[in-house]
């Protein structure tokens, strides 16, 4: 009987496992049907790779996103960003071997140093000292997929086809096998109980045959036995350790953390539309460890002239005036401002807000005074709510703006902005992502130890026209002799523990 039960359980579990493995291969969706249609599929790849111009748009899109190409290149492929506009890139490189375009994407500085590509040298002369990151992880066929995506975004050619009037992307659905593992776990538990029961019955029969007095073990006796309790305790220790380690690894990581700020400062308007240089406000990034949060005085350099915002009108800019004590009507700073009560501060800015609210009506006869007064009251209440903080005990409107910190490294990790920005000549977007596209800033990168180490392994040091690295004569000589094409941060000690943990 026992052998029969074991055989049945093994057959059941074996079939269930095979079903789980085959499930993904058997899935068929509307997207996969489109992908298999010869009329809509790309050119067949050559043995060992993808034919020139026969890349896959969808795979290219996935590569674009996973390699964060959009942090330096504009997604519309028409406008330049940190890097050049990519639309028409294949046509611009058409005069050179296709291999040069692959090498440019994979390791641009090595191609430039080789002197083999006039196009690479021309692009470098136009964009230096901005260095394109290395993507040695990309194979030639990956580059073809990326080029197909770029062409699709630029011209529309090769983008997902229409099915039944709707645009459907060619995607591969990932199967969720969680329920399979739940069934497997429950099945194994039931099998364990069955075997324990069978074992108990066999012991009882042996004892009965031998004439030894014994009691038949119940299910409760089995579940509370020493072996079961030991196993449960062991499983809980393993599960607890696994959870603790994972939680400890994630401790302090705040990727995609996007808190509301006391003032709705739009980086899209300032860094994107008006193209204000990052270091104009965060001027510490080029000369100190910290990038610094700009004081309200920096805001006043512009907003003493620009008094009404294009997006929020007086609502947000008046918060700046209220923090520093500037009267926009008199165009002067208010004397003894820090000693004024919150109600006195509100009285100063009430007339300013009222006047600007009324100016929004083209015809004075159409002014809705009730709405104007309500909006003025809302803005005044927002000023007090944004510039006071009951948690820290700050109950006065006057004073510094308490911005909410987003990026926060642990105390045992040393990071110097000047070393990366001034010496390394990195762009802010390398770590912070496309801030100029963020209406509300969030943490773009994980800022984990592994992320930093991978960056140090891949990022090439800009030796040319960089006095900081003149002392590395051997590397300079190796580059001149053609022995070495580039030097990474790792080569100059960027993985030494003491560099970040001193």
Domain at 112, CATH number:
1.10.760.10
**Separation between Cα atoms, residue 128 and residue 12, nearest integer Å:** 64
Token reading at 303: 């907003």
Q: Is residue 386 part of a domain?
A: no
SS3 167: strand
Q: DSSP assignment of 333-368, as one string? A: EPTTGGGS-HHHHHHHHHHHHHHHHHHT-SSGGG--
Q: Report the run of H or E that residue 500 belongs to, with start and end.
A: helix 497-500
Alpha-carbon distance values, 166 to 30, 155, 161, 162, 425 (Å): 11, 19, 8, 5, 46
Q: Is residue 74 part of a domain?
A: yes
Q: Is residue 393 part of a domain?
A: no
Q: Name the domain boundary from 150, 167, 184.
A: 167
Closest CA to 68 of 17, 158, 133, 143: 133
Q: Name the domain boundary from 167, 190, 215.
A: 167
Task: Report pLDDT for 21.
Answer: 44
Q: Name the domain boundary from 148, 167, 186.
A: 167
User: Structural domain tally of the chain?
Assistant: 2
Contacts of 192 by beta carbon, 8 Å cutoff, 6+ apart: none
Contacts of 299 by beta carbon, 8 Å cutoff, 6+ apart: 320
Domain that holds residue 80: 30-167
Residue with token string 């470098």:
124
Q: Is residue 342 part of a domain?
A: no
Q: Is residue 323 part of a domain?
A: no
Closest CA to 5 of 187, 148, 246: 187
Residuewise pLDDT in 10s, the chain (502 residues):
444 444 444 444 454 444 444 444 334 333 343 334 333 333 344 444 688 888 888 888 888 877 778 767 877 888 787 678 898 889 998 899 999 998 988 988 888 888 898 998 998 888 887 778 888 888 888 889 989 999 888 888 877 654 444 444 444 455 678 889 889 989 998 898 888 888 878 888 888 788 776 677 777 887 888 888 998 999 999 999 999 988 887 777 888 999 999 999 999 999 999 999 999 999 999 999 999 999 999 999 999 999 999 899 999 999 999 999 999 999 999 999 999 999 999 999 999 999 999 988 888 888 899 999 999 999 999 999 999 999 989 999 999 999 999 998 888 999 999 999 998 889 999 999 999 999 999 999 999 888 999 999 988 888 777 788 888 888 888 888 888 888 899 998 889 999 899 7
Q: Is residue 53 part of a domain?
A: yes
Strand segments, DSSP code E, in 195-335 are 326-327, 332-333
Q: Is residue 224 part of a domain?
A: no
Closest CA to 431 of 411, 450, 446, 416: 446
Long-range contact pairs involving 393-396 (C-beta distance under 8 Å, separation at least 24): 395/342, 396/338, 396/342
Q: Under a CB-based contact definition with an 8 Å cutoff, are residues 86 and 92 in contact?
A: no
Angle at which helix 342-359 crosses helix 369-387, to 10 degrees, equals: 140
Q: Is residue 297 part of a domain?
A: no
Burial class (CB in 10 A: 0-12, 13-18, 19+), 56: buried
């Amino acid at each position: 009987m026992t052998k029969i039960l074991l055989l049945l359980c093994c057959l059941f579990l074996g079939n269930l496992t095979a079903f789980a493995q085959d499930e993904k291969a058997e899935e068929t969706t509307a997207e996969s049907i489109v992908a298999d249609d010869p009329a809509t599929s790309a050119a067949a790849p050559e043995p060992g790779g993808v034919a020139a111009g026969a890349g896959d748009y969808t795979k290219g899109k996935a590569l674009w996103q996973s390699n964060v190409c959009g942090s330096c290149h504009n997604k519309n492929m028409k406008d330049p960003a940190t890097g050049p506009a990519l639309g028409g890139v294949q046509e611009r490189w058409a005069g050179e071997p296709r291999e040069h375009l692959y090498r440019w994407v994979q390791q641009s500085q090595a191609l430039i140093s080789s002197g083999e590509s006039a196009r690479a040298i021309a692009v470098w002369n136009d964009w230096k000292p901005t260095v394109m990151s290395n993507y040695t992880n990309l194979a030639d066929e990956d580059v073809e997929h990326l080029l197909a995506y770029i062409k699709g975004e630029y011209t529309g050619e090769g983008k997902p086809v229409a099915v039944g009037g709707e645009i459907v992307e060619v995607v591969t659905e990932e199967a969720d096998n969680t329920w399979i593992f739940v069934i497997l776990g429950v099945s194994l538990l039931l099998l364990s109980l069955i075997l324990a029961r069978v074992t108990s019955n066999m012991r009882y029969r042996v004892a009965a045959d031998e004439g030894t007095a014994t009691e038949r073990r119940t299910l409760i006796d089995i579940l509370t036995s020493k072996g079961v309790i030991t196993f449960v305790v062991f499983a809980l220790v393993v599960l607890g350790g696994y959870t603790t380690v994972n939680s400890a690894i994630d401790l302090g990581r705040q990727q995609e953390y996007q808190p509301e700020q006391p003032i709705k400062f739009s980086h899209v308007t300032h860094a994107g539309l008006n193209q204000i240089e990052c270091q104009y406000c965060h001027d510490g990034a080029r000369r100190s460890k910290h990038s610094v949060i700009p004081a309200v005085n920096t805001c006043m350099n512009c907003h003493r002239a620009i008094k009404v915002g294009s997006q929020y009108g007086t609502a947000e800019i008046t918060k700046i005036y209220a923090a520093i004590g500037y009267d926009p009507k008199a165009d002067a700073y208010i004397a003894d401002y820090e000693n004024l009560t919150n109600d006195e501060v509100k009285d100063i800015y009430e007339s300013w807000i009222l006047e600007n609210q009324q100016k929004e009506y083209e015809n004075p006869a159409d002014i809705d005074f009730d709405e104007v007064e309500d909006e003025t009251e809302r803005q005044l209440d927002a000023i007090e709510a944004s510039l006071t903080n009951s948690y820290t005990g700050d109950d006065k409107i006057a004073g510094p703006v308490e911005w909410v910190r987003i990026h926060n490294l642990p105390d045992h990790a040393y990071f110097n902005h000047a070393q990366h920005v001034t010496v390394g000549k990195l762009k802010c977007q390398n770590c912070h992502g496309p801030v100029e596209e963020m209406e509300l800033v969030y943490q773009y990168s994980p800022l984990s130890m592994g992320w930093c180490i991978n960056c140090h392994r891949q990022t090439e040091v800009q030796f040319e026209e960089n006095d900081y690295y003149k002392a590395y004569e051997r590397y300079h000589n190796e580059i001149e002799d053609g022995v070495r094409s580039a030097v990474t941060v790792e080569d100059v000690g960027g993985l030494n523990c003491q560099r970040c943990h001193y």
